[in-house]
Structure 1
Amino acid sequence: MGSMVVITTTAVPDHVRGALSRWMVEPSTGVYVGTMSARVRDELWDAVSASVGDGAAVCLYPADNEQGFDVRTAGERRREVVDWEGMMLVQMNPLAPSEVEVKRQVPDGW
């Protein structure tokens, strides 16, 4: 029997979104949910992670660990999932210099 899988995407090519929508439903933009076997999940994730381009993707699925789930990521993101003594935590990386410049140019009150 399959288990529930959630994949979120940001700025991925249209063909990646199309491939995900064949196996999963998209209840909100960039969020895909489906029930599938571990083999199908792994094959789908291999295809997604190889095709994210400049975008990013995150896959969450049940696992036999303390938190009850595991996380896979692909692409460049400011949020990075790190393993800390067996716990999956999210670490915020510093902004890139180009992102700092953009933030400085935005007028106050925006």
Structure 2
Amino acid sequence: MVVMILEKVSPSLRGELTRWLLELKTGVFVGNVSALVRDKLWHMICMKLKTGAGLMVFNAAREQGYEIRTHGPTSRTPEDFDGLILMKIPLKEKTKSKTTAKEFPAVEPLPPPESPATLEG
């Protein structure tokens, strides 16, 4: 099984892929093709991608049972940690919080506990 996710690609490239794969959602393709066809499709995608990006997940004889390939500027990148593939998500720069003191007023402190003498009666 093969899953391909393409971002910012031409409609003609998406149309070519629908000859072999099913487009579930815009830019998301799935299908069951041979390794040769899969590699030729990936090569075609890499050649025709201009400013877009592509990600492909397919069955492989690995611990996780699949392999990931990417091409172009993707928001997440696969990282291999001793045979385990994890997706690396870049940290975003911290921005100033949009919440203000008016939205979340300060909590007043609790009164001091009463002395034991007044509790007994």
From 8, 30, 33, give the equivalent of 2:30.
33
Q: Between the two structures, name the one with larger relative contact order (CA 8 Å, sep ≥ 6).
A: 1
Q: Which residue of 2 aligns with 1:79?
A: 76
Instruction: Find 2:57's aligned residue among 56, 60, 72.
Output: 60
Structure 1 distance, partners of 2:81, 2:59, is 18
Structure with more strand by fraction = 1
Task: From the CA coordinates, give the structure whose radius of gyration is larger.
Answer: 2
Query: SS of the residue aligned with 2:68?
Result: strand
The TM-score, its normalising length taken from structure 2, stands at: 0.72
Tell me, in whole angstroms, the C-alpha distance in 2 between the residues paired with 1:52 and 1:93.
Answer: 23
Higher share in helix: 1
CA RMSD of aligned residues (A): 2.0
Give the gaps of 5 or more residues in structure 2: 100-121
Q: Which moved more, 1:57-66 or 1:47-56?
A: 47-56
Superposed displacement of residue 51, structure 1: 1.5
Ranges of 4+ aligned residues in structure 1 off by more than 2 Å: none
Alpha-carbon distance in 1 for matches of 2:75, 2:58: 21
Gaps of 5+ in 1: none
Contact persistence 1:13–1:53 (CA under 8 A): no
Tell me the alpha carbon deviations over residues 21-48 of structure 1, each in whole angstroms, 9 at most, x when there is no partner: 1111111221111111000000000000
Identity %: 36
How many residues in Structure 1 have an aligned counterpart in Structure 2? 97
